[in-house]
Chains A and B, each alone.
Chain A
Amino acid sequence: MGSWMGLALPGLPHLHRGKWLEGGVLLSLWLGLLALAVVRFDRIVGAFRGGLDERIALLTLVLVLVGVWAWAWRSGSGALSGQEAGKGHVGRPLSGGWAAFRRNRMALLGLGAAVALYLAMLLTPLLAPFDPLSMPAFEEGGDLGLRLAPPSAVHIMGTDQYSRDVFSRILYGARISLIIVLLAVGISVALGTILGAVAGYLGGIPDAVIMRLLDMFMAFPSIVLLLAIVALFEPSAFLVIAALALTQWPYTTRIVRGEILALKEREFAEAARALAFSRGRVLFRHLLPNAMPSVVVVASLGIGNTIVLEAGLSFLGLGVPSDIPSWGTMVDQGRAYLLDSWWVVTFPGLAIALAVLAFNLLGDGLRDALDPRQGERLAR
């Protein structure tokens, strides 16, 4: 078997067999993480007595390395187990689209970028070359020339007005932005799904009430409602998350309601009702699982939108108060130095744009792969 090669260098057997994409991803992940471990060896040692942050990063590093190794071994040893496992899922609403998704190159790119972003978020304490808060120019004997230094080999994205490393700050900023956004989207999707399911399934007065409420919320441009809420209440992370969720739930609700309405008329729902299952059981066991593909799509696109909103709020100085700035705050602070230090504002903004792009690509790809109506339209 040639798979012994894969034990030492995951991905190499794949490349050998011409599976360029899978092999390339495996190999570069493996080598990249090993290189990271070597370069940041001191921090890995330090992590054992360091804070939670560093330990999580270390754990992530180990888990990803093991994961890559296991993946390579499993798919590289030529076993058909992967395909068979895939077959077992046919009939489950979410798995049918994977083949279609895999053919969409842009969607794969989006998925890759989203996963990379997530990993970067966890690995930040190991990845970041500098402390995001350290200001060497203002320390004892510091060199003021370190401020606003253009991108170089040491500071690949330059430094800001306090001589802090922009790249490190973007990495740390990602965590703030993404945690807030993921929480907000999680809440809004949960809330939106429940409301949409109730509205679609019960119909009548609950439906009318929920839909009118939805119309009202959708009448506000998201940022304006956010601004009003954030302005009137005590600023806190909780408030920002709640406000973001409050502006985003209508999108999920609308989609879920539509799905439930359509599914309600289909045969299997009739069958479930004929078997005299309780309403709750019909809704949660039979209808909602089939609406999940749409929820996944709307959540993915929602993450993109919410990243922009959160960044906008921070940009206006109304976001989550924090020592470590989120991306929006960095753009805001860098704006003053636009005239001669373009890098301070450009890179954080680019990070936002790329993160949003990743989730939009992912969402689009998922929609193409999962949305049955879209599928029908293409087949016609």
Chain B
Amino acid sequence: MLVYAARRVLAAVPLLLGVATIVFVVLALAPGDPASMYLRPGMSPETLDQIRRNMGLDAPLHVQYGRWLLSFLQGDFGQSLASGIPVKDRILEVLPNTLLLAAVAILLAFVAGIFLGVMQAVRQHSPLDSVLSGTSLFFYSMPSFWLAIMMVLVFSVNAGTVWGWPVSLPPSGMVSDGYDLLGPMARVRDRLLHLVLPALTLTLVLTGGIARYVRNSMLEVIRQDYIRTARAKGLPEWQVVWKHALRNALIPVVTLLGVYFPLLLSGTVFIEYVFAWPGMGRLMVDSILLEDYPVVLAGTFLFGGMVVLGNLLADLLYGVVDPRIRRGDG
């Protein structure tokens, strides 16, 4: 397992470098030189030259690349043009919010997706299976930003009370306006309420695909000989399905986790934008509109980096769930 893990980690490092390189290539290919990002009206050519020298832009391209790579990997992304504070600080401020949203959504999505997928596989070709398959594909096909707006429409704008319970949910932000005035319990409640719609939307976007995958994986596993063995032992059907079959069906699903990271993060970009959730995606979009390029580049790199790390995590998890790899002899 240690050898396996070490090999995985080592494979992730060049990928991370590659991700940084692509960001550099995009920057180098972009029209105008990077110093012009700092160009402001009334700036003298001398000042621009100074900036250029400060940024090391007079050096040959490969030297620039080396320096740039080094600073990027150290977490030094320069300064935000819009706010003047280091990009790193801006990102550290919003990154936890994105991670919270993504973690909650992916957890819910996997729980729901696995449950639905197993139900469908167990009742293959039943009406339930068809209905769930259709619904899954429909949600899978929806653009996430539109689904987010529809969620607002249904649960926030048009919401009222159901059996005396308010179902109106806050459509934007992480906390209410008067958050600082609230007591500790009310603060938790407020944060949770604000989390519901964005997290639920992201969950809906992801669940369909997961359910489809789990269904197919389960159908494959359920035909295996060891399932027959489990039944021949006299185990109850729920144990055969939820223990023997699911445990094996989950092995490929873990790989799906890796595949889903890009989709998840793409989803957060739109959902943060619609729900005004102060996270990485929102920061990216805002920075593009403000032409705050250092933040855009750092954000791009970090999104790529998160996917690489996510895949690494999935690989390691794969080693945990599959004993053939865990023992290092598979």
**Contacts from A to B (Cβ < 8 Å):** 106, 212-213, 215-225, 227-234, 304, 308, 311-312, 315-318, 328, 331, 335, 338-339, 342, 345-346, 349, 352-354, 356-357, 360-361, 364, 377, 380
Residue-wise interface mask of B (227-264) relative to A, using a CB-CB cutoff of 8 A (1 in contact, 0 not): 00000000000000000000000000000000001110
- Nearest 5 A-B pairs (CB), nearest first? A349-B146, A216-B18, A232-B30, A356-B141, A357-B141
- Decide: A229 near B262, CB < 8 A? Known: A338-B153, A360-B141: no
What are 26 A-B interface contacts by the 8 Å CB criterion?
Answer: A216-B19, A217-B22, A218-B262, A219-B19, A219-B304, A219-B307, A219-B311, A220-B304, A221-B266, A221-B303, A222-B262, A224-B303, A227-B288, A228-B299, A231-B288, A234-B31, A304-B141, A311-B146, A312-B143, A331-B145, A342-B153, A353-B142, A356-B141, A357-B141, A360-B137, A364-B137
Bound complex: CA A304 to CA B142 (Å): 10
How distant is B312 from chain A, measured CB to nearest CB, in Å?
Answer: 11
Give the B interface residue count (CB, 8 A): 52
B31, B134, B137, B145: most-surrounded residue (chain A CB, <10 A):
B145
How distant is A120 from chain B, measured CB to nearest CB, in Å?
Answer: 18
Judging by beta carbons under 8 Å apart, are A221 and B145 in contact?
A: no
- Decide: A221 near B269, CB < 8 A? Known: A216-B22, A353-B138: yes
Total number of residue pairs linking A and B with CB closer than 8 Å: 145
Q: Does B110 contact A (CB under 8 A)?
A: no
Q: Does B284 contact A (CB under 8 A)?
A: yes
Residue-wise interface mask of B (208-227) relative to A, using a CB-CB cutoff of 8 A (1 in contact, 0 not): 00000000000010010000
If A221-B269, A349-B146 are given as contacts, then 6 extra A-B residue pairs at C-beta distance below 8 Å, sorted by A number, are A224-B266, A225-B304, A231-B293, A315-B270, A345-B149, A356-B141
Judging by beta carbons under 8 Å apart, are B270 and A312 in contact?
A: yes
Judging by beta carbons under 8 Å apart, are B307 and A221 in contact?
A: yes
How distant is A337 from chain B, measured CB to nearest CB, in Å?
Answer: 11
How distant is A319 from chain B, measured CB to nearest CB, in Å?
Answer: 13
Which B-chain residue is minimally distant from A315 (CB atoms)?
Answer: B145
**Contacts from B to A (Cβ < 8 Å):** 14-15, 18-19, 21-23, 26-27, 30-31, 134, 137-138, 140-146, 149-150, 152-153, 157, 220, 223, 261-263, 265-266, 269-270, 273-274, 284-285, 288-289, 291, 293, 296-297, 299-300, 303-304, 307-308, 311
Judging by beta carbons under 8 Å apart, are B265 and A224 in contact?
A: yes
How distant is A174 from chain B, measured CB to nearest CB, in Å?
Answer: 14
Q: Which residues of A contact B269 (CB under 8 A)?
A: 221, 223-224, 227
How distant is A202 from chain B, measured CB to nearest CB, in Å?
Answer: 21
Judging by beta carbons under 8 Å apart, are B293 and A232 in contact?
A: yes
Bound complex: CA A353 to CA B146 (Å): 9
Bound complex: CA A219 to CA B11 (Å): 13
B146, B289, B307, B311: most-surrounded residue (chain A CB, <10 A):
B146
How distant is B222 from chain A, measured CB to nearest CB, in Å?
Answer: 13
Judging by beta carbons under 8 Å apart, are A227 and B262 in contact?
A: no
A223, A224, A342, A361: most-surrounded residue (chain B CB, <10 A):
A224
- Decide: A352 near B27, CB < 8 A? Known: A221-B265, A224-B299: no
Q: Which residues of A contact B137 (CB under 8 A)?
A: 357, 360-361, 364
How distant is B220 from chain A, measured CB to nearest CB, in Å?
Answer: 8
Q: Which residues of A contact B138 (CB under 8 A)?
A: 353, 357
Bound complex: CA A106 to CA B296 (Å): 42
- Decide: A232 near B270, CB < 8 A? Known: A216-B19, A360-B140: no
Judging by beta carbons under 8 Å apart, are B143 and A349 in contact?
A: yes
Judging by beta carbons under 8 Å apart, are A312 and B145 in contact?
A: yes
Q: Which residues of B contact A316 (CB under 8 A)?
A: 270, 273, 285, 288
Q: Which residues of A contact B270 (CB under 8 A)?
A: 223, 312, 315-316
Q: Which residues of B contact A106 (CB under 8 A)?
A: 134
Judging by beta carbons under 8 Å apart, are B296 and A346 in contact?
A: no
Bound complex: CA A380 to CA B145 (Å): 41
Q: Which residues of A contact B297 (CB under 8 A)?
A: 228
Judging by beta carbons under 8 Å apart, are A223 and B296 in contact?
A: no
Bound complex: CA A231 to CA B269 (Å): 15
How distant is B128 from chain A, measured CB to nearest CB, in Å?
Answer: 16
Bound complex: CA A311 to CA B300 (Å): 20
Q: Which residues of B contact A217 (CB under 8 A)?
A: 22
Bound complex: CA A153 to CA B96 (Å): 50
